[in-house]
Amino acid sequence: MTDAGKRDRGLLRVDQDECKGCGLCIEACPPHVIQMMERLNHYGYRTAVYAGAGCTGCGICFMVCPEPGAITVLRLTNRPAGRFDSEAEGAKRCAGN
């Protein structure tokens, strides 16, 4: 199966109000699916944004992010497409609590 044909294994969410645009997540992302937005948020920062496909759910971006709550990574399991397991069912859930 080619890279283009692989299913996403994770989902990445960036909170535009929390991200300060340091770029650490962009440098750390193994599949290179995070980039900087062209426009500024209401605080005047160019923030990180997920490209929309290709996340592996590794959580490295979450680990390097200095802003609590700026990045959330959910790992997809072998459920039907688009469904996430709950924490009780063993999903890897990274949250900035």
Please write the tens of the pLDDT for every residue from 44-60: 999 999 988 899 999 99
3-state secondary structure of 82: coil
Write down the domain spans for the chain. 3-94
d(CA 58, CA 42): 29
d(CA 38, CA 17): 15
Alpha carbon distances (Å) from 51 to 22, 75, 78, 85: 17, 16, 22, 23
Model confidence at 96: pLDDT above 70 = no
Please write the tens of the pLDDT for every residue from 9-56: 899 999 999 999 999 999 999 999 999 999 998 899 999 999 888 999
Q: At the top level of CATH, which class does the domain 3-94 belong to?
A: alpha beta
